[in-house]
Each structure stands twice: as C-alpha cells, then as structure tokens.
Amino acid sequence: MPDNVIETHGLTHYYGKRKSVDSLDLAVPRGSVFALLGLNGSGKTTTIRLLLGLLEPARGRATVLGHDSATLPPQVLGRIGYMNEEHQVYGWMRVDEIERFQTGFYPRWNRDVFAAVTEHFNLDRRAKVRHLSRGERAGLSLALTLAPETELLILDDPGLGLDTIVRRSLMEAMVYVTRDSNRTILFSSHILTEVERVADRIAILDRGVLRANCALDTFRERVRRVSLRFDRPPDRPPDIPGLLHSSTLDDLLTLTIANYTPQTEQQLRALNPREMEDLPLSLEEAFISYVQSPCKSTLLLSRLSPRQGCTDDCPP
Amino acid sequence: MSLEIHIHLGADPIYKQIVDQVRRPAATGHLQPGDPLPSIRALAERLIINPNTVARAYRDLVSQGVIEARQGVGYVAAERRRVFSAEERRRRLDQALDPLAQEALVLDLETSEIVDALEKKLASLRNPKQRKRNA
C-alpha cells in the first residue's frame, strides 16, 4: 500500500486566462526525494504554492500529509519545512533572534542541526540578517528549514543563485535528511546533474502539464537515443510510440524515444536497419528532448498510471 | 583495501558507474572474495548521492554474482562464479570489443600488434591477483 505524503487530483490554476497548472495528478511517496522539473514558467512554483495553500486552485484539489491544502491547520504546517526561492527571512532580526522566533512555530526544533548548518556557512550569530550575503542568507534559510526536522521538506529551487560550494552543502544536507526513511523532500530545480545525484523520483512539468512522473532510474533507462544505419533511410520519421526527436544525416537515422521498451526495439528492428546502436544520453539531454518535443499533449510516462508506468520498477 | 569509487555525471547513470567500478576490481583480483564494501548509507554520503541509487547498484551486483549480502557484516565481494550463459558472455565481450576494434583501425595497427597489446594488458591486470595468491 503506497503511502503518499502529497497527492493532487486534477489540480488546475489560472493566471488571468493562462492555465498555469493544468489538471495535475501527482503523488509523492513517503521517503522519496522527489524532483519537480520544468523550464521557467512551467508551473513548478505555482504547484508548490498550491500545495501549501498559498494559492487557491480553480479546480481540483491537493492534499498534503492527508489534509486539504486549502485549509492546512497550523499543526500540519508545523510538520512541513518550506524554503522559497528568495530565501526570504526577516531582515531586521539577528541570526540568533530569528532562531528563537522560529522555534515557537515547530513542535520539534533541533538546536544542534541549526548550529551545525549556521557554522558550516560561517554565520555570525549576532549578525543582522539584512547584512548577510546571498550565500549566507541561503545558509540561514537552510538552517531554519532543517532545524525543525519536519517530516516533509518543500524546497523551491533551493540552489538558485548559489555558488557551487554552497550548492554542494545543500545536496549534502538533502542526503543527510534521507537517513530517516520517513522524511520526504519535494524540490524543484534546473540543475539536472544535481537532480541526478539526490533525487530518486522526478516529475516533468511542461506549460503546466505533467509530462513525466516516475523513478529517476526508470527515466534514465526508458528515455533512449538510438542510431540506425540504412542502405536507404526511410523518407519520413517512423511511427514509433514515444518518438521525441528524429534526425536524418545521409544513411543515418537518429531517434530519441521516451518510454523505450522491448517492443520499441522490435519495432525498430522491423525497419530493417543495417546497424543499430545505443547512443549515450545524459539526464540533461533527455530532459531537453522531452520538453522540446513538438508533441503538445500529455505524453507517455504520465499517461500511464503510476503503477503501469514506473512504480513497479521502484524499490519498495 | 578501500574501494575507490568516483562518479562523473554524464551519459552513464550513477548506479551503472558504481556497478562498473565494483565489477572491474572484482574481476582483476584487486577486490578479493570476502572483502567488505562500504555500506549503502556510507557510500551515499561519501558520494553525495541518493542511497536508493547505491541500493540499486548493489542489487544489480548481487544479481550478477559479484557481491553478496552477509548477515551482520554487510555487503562483501563474492566468490567468483559465472552467472551468465556462454552466449551472454560472448555478447558482452563482443560489445566491449567494439570500441577497441574501431580505435585500432583508426590508428592503423597490425592485427598482431593489437593481439600483443591485448595479451600484455590482460597479463598486467591479472598480476595483482597472482601476487596475492602467492603471498
């Protein structure tokens, strides 16, 4: 029985006439490190704000820790750690004052975690928050998010604008959180190499529509690029389900395919190529092929129910 | 010995890189049967990666007969045994030969030079195991 800390059903939101989130069905299993991916404006932040009840959906609903997002009671909010893109913290407070202020909102507050993170970032506990650099503010924001040891962490593009060293610390912190298998992280990001390190599940949003939702390993295995060499290549791209991209160069046809299965291989062999070769494809390239494909509607992995699509391949 | 594992983010998924980097020393004898592997948690924290990725790699290595889980000890290198059919081993070798053959052709080498070089390479890789056995 899967235990989801977040579920959305037909979640839809508009900014004016533009659909920013379109009939989103999403489930985030407990204990996962779940990456929400998408280009700018794809609806990641809007989704997160809907989950936290900071925005109201036009249709559909979301539940977080079993409670409707629209009416999250304070004791449920106290079980969620949220870090926003801007690392907004009260500028007029000192670092130690803000810690004392925050402890009041959370049932658990681990002073050791707060001290460890702030020391790691070399924060002066007596410094005024508004005098901190961007990296230091991110460190403070991270300390404030981690210290309550909440069962759910929601991090909206936590690495945005931070240097490599700070981002590395952020990833270490995320891996540290997985020590407790009951804790879940939902985060959005643009940096695919970092996603590949720390995430075990991914969802791809494209103009508000969910295009993929599966285990990261499944995505890596099923989105493939193959080259086929022909005596005479076909005139048109072959009709292969999940074809994301196709290009022909002389006798060489290169295809990028989502949801590659043994049947796909049979279909490709049926084209009678002289040679067939698997080409390496990084997560970043796979992602780019995915969001750049001209196909507008929902595609593949998301059209399958989670059970058919991926969940069965995930470790229990 | 401590197992050196490095990851490089790019074309190969992380779990596959771990599998390759355990299989290689196991095959050459740098990793002897019974040698311990880092725990899933320890390796995940050292490499800063999701522990499920390490778990996935270890599962693959167990099913390939390279490592085994031992009660109370954790994962250790397994006694070498052949889990692949002759046909499968042939297929895998063939796959591995591809880049070698292509590079050799590009370099315009004689077949005898290639065979010589391959024999020397195999001998040098096998050496550490023999040294350990004689010790």
- Are B50 and A199 within 8 A, CB to CB? yes
Say if residue A181 is in the same domain as residue A38.
Answer: yes
Q: What percent of chain A has pLDDT over 90?
A: 52
Is A295 domain-assigned? no
* pLDDT of res. B134: 43
- Are A197 and B41 within 8 A, CB to CB? no
Chain A residue with minimal CA distance to B41?
A: A179
* pLDDT of res. A308: 35
Say if residue A179 is in the same domain as residue A108.
Answer: yes
Say if residue A169 is in the same domain as residue A83.
Answer: yes
d(CA A3, CA A29): 6
pLDDT over 70 at B119, yes or no = yes
Residues 19-78 of B with CB under 8 A from A: 41, 44-45, 47-53, 55-56, 59
Average pLDDT of the residues of chain A:
86
Residues 204-263 of A with CB under 8 A from B: 216-217, 220-221
* pLDDT of res. A43: 94
Say if residue A233 is in the same domain as residue A175.
Answer: no
Say if residue A214 is in the same domain as residue A241.
Answer: no
Say if residue A53 is in the same domain as residue A146.
Answer: yes
pLDDT over 70 at A60, yes or no = yes
Give the DSSP per-residue string, A257-293. Answer: ESS--HHHHHHHHTT--SEEEEEP--HHHHHHHHHHS
The beta-carbon neighbor of B11 closest among A179, A197, A281 is A281
pLDDT over 60 at B133, yes or no = no
Determine the distance in angstroms separating the CA of B61 from the nearest CA of chain A, rounded to an integer: 15
Determine the distance in angstroms separating the CA of B13 from the nearest CA of chain A, rounded to an integer: 7
Tell me which residue range forms the domain holding A274: 224-280
* Chains A–B, number of C-beta pairs less than 8 Å apart: 53
CB atoms within 10 A of CB B117: 13
pLDDT over 70 at A258, yes or no = yes
Is A137 domain-assigned? yes
* Per-residue confidence band for B23, with pLDDT thresholds at 50, 70 and 90: very high
Question: In this predicted structure, which of A231-245, A276-290, B20-34 has the lowest mean pLDDT?
Answer: A231-245
Say if residue A126 is in the same domain as residue A255.
Answer: no
Model pTM score: 0.83
> Of A218, A236, A255, which residue is a domain's last?
A218
* pLDDT of res. A295: 56
Is A232 domain-assigned? yes
Q: At the top level of CATH, which class does the domain B14-77 belong to?
A: mainly alpha
SS3 labels along A214-225: EEHHHHHHHCEE
* pLDDT of res. A87: 66
Say if residue A148 is in the same domain as residue A69.
Answer: yes
Say if residue A67 is in the same domain as residue A205.
Answer: yes
Chain B residue with minimal CA distance to A199?
A: B50
Residues 157-176 of A with CB under 8 A from B: 168, 171-172, 175-176
- Are B9 and A172 within 8 A, CB to CB? no
Instruction: For residue A223, give the nearest of A83, A67, A45, A37 by alpha carbon.
Output: A37
* pLDDT of res. B105: 87
Mutation target among B48, B49, B58, B95 for the A interface, most CBs of A within 10 A: B48
Say if residue A167 is in the same domain as residue A245.
Answer: no
Is A18 domain-assigned? yes
Is A233 domain-assigned? yes
Say if residue A85 is in the same domain as residue A167.
Answer: yes
> Of A218, A234, A251, which residue is a domain's last?
A218
Q: How far is CA A1 from CA A4, A57, A65, A145, A160, in A?
A: 10, 28, 16, 29, 36
* pLDDT of res. A2: 57
Say if residue A124 is in the same domain as residue A236.
Answer: no
pLDDT in tens, B82-111: 767 888 888 888 888 888 988 988 999 899
Mutation target among B50, B58, B63, B92 for the A interface, most CBs of A within 10 A: B50
Enumerate the domain spans of chain B: 14-77, 86-134
Instruction: Kindly report the CATH number assigned to the domain that includes residue A155.
Output: 3.40.50.300
* pLDDT of res. A204: 93
* Per-residue confidence band for B27, with pLDDT thresholds at 50, 70 and 90: confident
Is A306 domain-assigned? no
pLDDT over 60 at A306, yes or no = no
pLDDT over 80 at B128, yes or no = no
pLDDT in tens, A132-144: 988 888 889 989 9
Mean pLDDT across A45-51: 96
Q: B73 vs A302, which has greater pLDDT?
A: B73
Is A308 domain-assigned? no
The number of folded domains in chain A is 2
Q: What percent of chain B has pLDDT over 90?
A: 48
* pLDDT of res. B85: 82
Mean pLDDT across B51-66: 94
Chain B residue with minimal CA distance to A33?
A: B50
> Of A218, A236, A271, which residue is a domain's last?
A218
Task: For residue B47, list chain A residues with Cβ-Cβ distance below 8 A.
Answer: 197
CB atoms within 10 A of CB A35: 24
Chain B residue with minimal CA distance to A179?
A: B41
